[in-house]
Amino acid sequence: MADIEKHSTTEGECAICHSENIEWGDSGMVDMNYYFEFSCQDCGAQNTEWHELKFVEVVGHGETEDNNYKKPEFKVTDKASARDMGIEYQLWASEQNLSYGELIEWTEYLTKIAKRYGLLKEFREEGII
């Protein structure tokens, strides 16, 4: 008996005799193709059904970080303490994941302080606001 090889484009049927009376075996991946092996219960042929893998999407799952957002409290009484506050804020903010809204809130607040104590230019140069 000579080996024969036939190809079928119908899923789940024997490529030799087109029987759907099959028994699934191993499956796995080769390169970017997935295969399912099955043996035909009618003619005894061994078949390998090939599926091409197609990229669909990436789904990410993760633990959400605890929200450690806590507004630092600053005591601003003069120009020097206002300047300290700017520096402290900058250090603090660099360790936070401030949302856009929070950033705007802080920038508005710091701008007020900076205006009051004549630090607007300085704060802007330092990148604080």
Residues engaged in binding Zn ion (CB under 5 A): 14, 16-17, 19, 40, 42-43, 45
The token pair at 114 is 């900076």
How many residues appear in the chain?
129
**14 vs 119, which CB is nearer to Zn ion?**
14
Work out how close the CB of 60 gets to Zn ion at its nearest, in angstroms, rounded to a whole number. Answer: 44
Work out how close the CB of 57 gets to Zn ion at its nearest, in angstroms, rounded to a whole number. Answer: 37
Are 110 and 123 a contacting pair, CB within 8 Å?
yes
What distance in Å separates the CA atoms of residue 110 and residue 90, rounded to the nearest whole number? 11
**43 vs 91, which CB is nearer to Zn ion?**
43
**15 vs 129, which CB is nearer to Zn ion?**
15
Do strands 46-52 and 22-30 pair parallel, antiparallel, or not at all (unpaired)?
Answer: unpaired
**41 vs 99, which CB is nearer to Zn ion?**
41
Work out how close the CB of 4 gets to Zn ion at its nearest, in angstroms, rounded to a whole number. Answer: 11
Do strands 46-52 and 33-40 pair parallel, antiparallel, or not at all (unpaired)?
Answer: antiparallel
* Separation of CA 41 from chain center: 45
Work out how close the CB of 18 gets to Zn ion at its nearest, in angstroms, rounded to a whole number. Answer: 7
